[in-house]
Structure 1
Amino acid sequence: MVTSYVSTRGSETASLREAVLQGMSPRGGLYVPTQIPTFDWPPPEGSVAEWLAPSLFPSLEPDVARRIAQDACDFPFPLVQIDDSSFILELFHGPTHAFKDVGARFMADLVSLFATGSGNEITVLVATSGDTGGAVANAFFGRRGTRVVAVFPLRGVSETQRRQMTTLGDNVEAVAVEGTFDDCQRMVKECFSDPSLSARHGLTSANSINVARLLPQAVYYLEAARRFREPVHFVVPSGNLGNLCAGLIASKGGMPHAGFTAAFNRNHGVADLLQGSSFETRDSIRTLSNAMDVGNPSNLERIQWLYKSDDALRVDVRGDWVSDEDTVRAIASVHRREGYVMDPHTAVAFAVAQRLDAGVTPVVILSTAHPAKFPEVVEDAICESVSMPETILSARQKNELMSVIPPDLGKLKELLDGGRQ
């Protein structure tokens, strides 16, 4: 069965290859499957990723889909119990210690598959508020025929996040923007809206706007859900909403659930929407949970397309937000009581989860990054040092290479045309 993809902004359709390599539709919409992938519940014993991949991408040969899934998800997703009803799903055991590794590695294999024999270089242009850039850079590093350009806010990522992009070299270029993530995302989207530029460089996106990045993230929701006898309530740290969108697609495909809560920091426009207000684009605000500092999340468009109305969305998804002070208190209190260390994004979700009704159980909180990626925040909260994985220590010893530009589309286009500045 060949599944096509349709734009959220009209009737434009694309094959999987076209959707992956284009990233966005020509009119700026996001691609969604014309039919939501469905599956029988529960999954069999064994790898959920290998079982699910042929359903997520039915236009691939099943053996090819399973092989890509095996390569992309070759690390565990531990479930850690925090109290009687709360569990933390650790998604940071991949090579860059962030949940983005799942989708980035799957996408890299798909792009390589589709690019084989084309003779044309593909430029993966990605805007990142933190972990996406490092995960994408790692996944594509050294792959022939691909060039990665990671665009990030100069003062909006942690040192570790920055170094995971700036210390690789080879086919990976890091571009620091003297602005916000919303500036970065706007510039990248405008590049994709330029047909000449897109054709000249073979542009594709590795943000969660790309279906190859988004859909594989359904894997860990199913992996968590099958470990419980009763439906799970998921609490999701939320910024650009790709993580939440993947969970909602999993639920519409057949995964039983007891609802979702989207957890936000002070960039809480979507939380306000979920609580009954209308959504308004806002300038992003810098917080301790920087990967969630998004004022205009791309995947809201996809989620609203899936649900057709905001009232229908509010049936499945709650929204709430917490301050930086709440975030630090959550890190400190969980460490003091349980000896467990959370990163700031997980702490946002944990603090929001504490406000859920007592009858909501079990609750699974998605932990999106290793706490060692944010040592300044975490160590101040717990008053002790954080254990550093070897890969993070190694990145801190290497020289950095990056271009620094103002939030100007023309400067980014010049860089794409001329290489590193």
Structure 2
Amino acid sequence: MKLYNIKDNQERVSFAQAVRQGLGRKQGLFFPETLPEFDNIEQLLSESFVARSSKILSALVGDELSPEQVNSMVEAAFQFPAPIKQVKEDVHALELFHGPTLAFKDFGGRFMAQSLAAVSDGGRITILTATSGDTGAAVAHAFYDMDNIDVVILYPKGKISPLQEKLFCTLGKNIHTVAVNGDFDACQALVKQAFDDEALRQEIGLNSANSINISRLMAQICYYFEAFSQLPESKRDQVVVSVPSGNFGNLTAGLLAKAMGLPIKRFIAATNVNDTVPRYLDTGEWSPKPTIATTSNAMDVSQPNNWPRIEELVKTKGWALEMLAKGAVTDEQSAQTVKELDDLGYLCEPHGAIAYRVLDDQLEDGETGLFLCTAHPAKFKEVVDEILQSDIELPAPLAKHASMPLLSSEMENDFSSLKLLLRKVASQ
């Protein structure tokens, strides 16, 4: 698999290099030189989740890893389902929260861990990532207690749900969690600064586990195919997919699935009031505003990292950006939608509710709607309980960590402090 740096097209790397390196020069994202296209989609959809995903990922990786290696990696990573649930006629929820940390990022985090193990040269690695909630837990659990790998996770202090925080800030060992006095965009900016420091990168073997890393993004392609495989064949030609969007990795993966042959009719980018992309699609002007804290905190992102990949894909495929529908939803609207879904017999949380709200508003006659549910409602227990006047039972993974003490340190939004921390972790 050959990839190039979107910001510096002269930088070309292999899959192994991209996985180990994370980001390219000038903080550029890596993008595949070519994408495989499947012309036997119905045959592919008839296979099991693991078998199909192995074929998709092996086609992407190419001859760097054998099909047998890739299959073994997928078997280890995808040990849980991605079911669709019918919410009402012609509208289905794609549930991506059945993994160990109850969020869609389990797919990408676990496949990245397998990928890094497969391409590692045996040297010590320090993974640095920023999280707005779910990435941290998925990465922490995927890499927990792995030899020669330290993980440093930055998150905005007081701006993720208490249960999200408990799920990844209670592990210890090689997992180091840091509450930053700032928002998610500040955490993300610190990560980018670290990757721009070439001496630091070399010194500590720096890598990223955000959806910056191509292996995470590749894994997410697979559950779009899985969702289609569960739809009746008669419903597969008019499918509209609504994606709750923060850092835009999930939507990027869906568009890649379409580019590889999955017949998705159109996509909807659904955001909360941090609506940089919807405004950009309306006006053509990229004008991020200060990030606003919302009840859908995993989407509280004003400068989404993966947007350049979407623009690159649209350009290389000759698509028009206008193909993307969009919508922004307030906290009040998402709360009302959680109630509406509950009345339909479906328990949801604010992120999935935002995707449903925009989908239901825009779905046309004859279309089949699919909205992504990216986290278990119990991860946002305080918010959902207040909206529904309920008491959601905690699933076992959350119940286990809820009573454990937090192990996080705190840090100002300051790069020199981060450098000291990273060097300390790498020297232990």
Q: TM-score, normalised by structure 2?
A: 0.94
State whether structure 2 residue 255 is matched by structure 1 residue 248: yes
SS across alignment from 2:26: coil
State the distance in 1 between where 2:320 and 2:144 align: 38
Question: 2:181·2:413 contact (CA, 8 Å) conserved in 1?
Answer: yes
Aligned letter for 2:257?
A: A
Alignment of 1:76-155 (within 5 A): 76-115=81-120, 118-155=121-158
Within the candidate set 237, 244, 254, 2:244 is matched to 237
Question: 2:7·2:25 contact (CA, 8 Å) conserved in 1?
Answer: no
Question: 1:100·1:132 contact (CA, 8 Å) conserved in 2?
Answer: yes
2:28 equivalent in structure 1:
29
State whether structure 2 residue 396 is matched by structure 1 residue 397: no
State the distance in 2 between where 1:152 and 1:416 align: 15
1:316 equivalent in structure 2:
323
Deviations 1:117-156 (A, max 9, x none): x342101110100100000000000110100001100111
Question: 1:88·1:364 contact (CA, 8 Å) conserved in 2?
Answer: yes
State whether structure 2 residue 46 is matched by structure 1 residue 41: no
SS across alignment from 2:171: coil
State whether structure 2 residue 77 is matched by structure 1 residue 75: no
Q: Percent identity?
A: 38
* Structure 2 CA distance for partners of 1:309 and 1:67, relative to 1, 3 Å: closer
SS across alignment from 2:129: strand
SS across alignment from 1:57: helix
Question: 2:281·2:322 contact (CA, 8 Å) conserved in 1?
Answer: no
| C-alpha displacement of 1:56 | 2.5
Name the stretch that deviates more: 170-179 or 394-403.
394-403
1:9 equivalent in structure 2:
7
Aligned length: 416
State the distance in 1 between where 2:317 and 2:386 align: 39
State the distance in 2 between where 1:137 and 1:167 align: 10
Give the unaligned 5+ runs of structure 1.
none
State whether structure 2 residue 48 is matched by structure 1 residue 54: no
| C-alpha displacement of 1:166 | 1.0
Aligned letter for 2:142?
A: A
State whether structure 2 residue 193 is matched by structure 1 residue 187: no
State the distance in 1 between where 2:336 and 2:284 align: 28
Deviations 1:94-130 (A, max 9, x none): 0000000001000001111222xx3421011101001
State the distance in 2 between where 1:311 and 1:182 align: 31
| C-alpha displacement of 1:67 | 1.1
State the distance in 1 between where 2:365 and 2:20 align: 45
State the distance in 2 between where 1:256 and 1:315 align: 18
State the distance in 2 between where 1:385 and 1:358 align: 36
State the distance in 2 between where 1:88 and 1:220 align: 12
State the distance in 1 between where 2:130 and 2:186 align: 9
Question: 1:165·1:173 contact (CA, 8 Å) conserved in 2?
Answer: no
Question: 1:56·1:216 contact (CA, 8 Å) conserved in 2?
Answer: no
State the distance in 1 between where 2:391 and 2:60 align: 41
Aligned letter for 1:107?
A: M
1:222 equivalent in structure 2:
225
Within the candidate set 295, 299, 309, 2:302 is matched to 295
Alignment of 1:359-370 (within 5 A): 359=365, 361-370=367-376
Deviations 1:33-84 (A, max 9, x none): 1112322312132223223221122231111111111111111111111111
1:346 equivalent in structure 2:
352
| C-alpha displacement of 1:282 | 2.1
SS across alignment from 1:280: coil
State the distance in 1 between where 2:201 and 2:278 align: 34
State the distance in 2 between where 1:269 and 1:214 align: 21
State the distance in 2 between where 1:167 and 1:33 align: 37
Question: 1:149·1:174 contact (CA, 8 Å) conserved in 2?
Answer: yes
State the distance in 1 between where 2:215 and 2:338 align: 33
State the distance in 2 between where 1:316 and 1:227 align: 25
State the distance in 1 between where 2:325 and 2:123 align: 45
Question: 2:126·2:151 contact (CA, 8 Å) conserved in 1?
Answer: yes
Question: 1:49·1:73 contact (CA, 8 Å) conserved in 2?
Answer: no
Question: 1:150·1:175 contact (CA, 8 Å) conserved in 2?
Answer: yes
Within the candidate set 197, 200, 213, 1:197 is matched to 200
State whether structure 2 residue 395 is matched by structure 1 residue 417: no
State the distance in 1 between where 2:142 and 2:333 align: 34
Deviations 1:179-198 (A, max 9, x none): 00000000001100100110
SS across alignment from 2:305: coil
State the distance in 2 between where 1:172 and 1:88 align: 33
State the distance in 1 between where 2:316 and 2:117 align: 37
* Structure 2 CA distance for partners of 1:55 and 1:195, relative to 1, 3 Å: same
SS across alignment from 1:354: helix
| C-alpha displacement of 1:403 | 1.2
State the distance in 1 between where 2:325 and 2:244 align: 12
| C-alpha displacement of 1:226 | 2.6
* Structure 2 CA distance for partners of 1:310 and 1:178, relative to 1, 3 Å: farther
Deviations 1:235-290 (A, max 9, x none): 00000000000000010011101100010000001011223442212221100000
* Structure 2 CA distance for partners of 1:52 and 1:309, relative to 1, 3 Å: closer
Question: 1:275·1:318 contact (CA, 8 Å) conserved in 2?
Answer: no
State whether structure 2 residue 170 is matched by structure 1 residue 167: yes
State the distance in 1 between where 2:206 and 2:37 align: 30
Aligned letter for 1:419?
A: V
State the distance in 2 between where 1:180 and 1:45 align: 42
Q: TM-score, normalised by structure 1?
A: 0.96
SS across alignment from 1:355: helix
Aligned letter for 1:244?
A: L
Question: 1:157·1:291 contact (CA, 8 Å) conserved in 2?
Answer: yes
Question: 1:152·1:184 contact (CA, 8 Å) conserved in 2?
Answer: yes
Question: 1:271·1:321 contact (CA, 8 Å) conserved in 2?
Answer: yes
State the distance in 1 between where 2:154 and 2:224 align: 28
